[in-house]
Amino acid sequence: MSLRAEVAAWPDETLLRRKEAATYLDCRHQLLEEWAVQGIGPKYIKNGRWVRYRMGDLRAWVRKHERRTINRRRVILGQGVAL
């Protein structure tokens, strides 16, 4: 089992270090730090220098940012364009 799959199987209450959270999200741990500064990343817990991400919060953040690609064709009808 890969580390990413192992991390994904952890319970929602599990607290992850920034590097473990980055592994789950498949990004650099520095990116999580940048997002935290900008206020755009997943929720985290901070106590002094200690930073942890709750597994359930990471899952919720991923679901919130999930997108589906919709394939639309442009159809020209008379003078207008319908999508």
Looking at the predicted structure, is the pLDDT value of residue 77 above 80? no
Supply the pLDDT for residue 66. 84
Domain limits at 78?
3-82
Note the pLDDT tens digit of each residue in 10-65. Answer: 899 999 999 999 999 999 999 999 999 999 999 999 999 999 999 999 999 999 98
Measured CA to CA in angstroms, residue 73 lies from 19, 70, 76, 81 at distances of 42, 10, 10, 10
How many domains does the chain contain in total?
Answer: 1
Of 61, 65, 41, residue with least CA distance to 51: 41
What CATH number is given to the structural domain containing 31?
A: 1.10.10
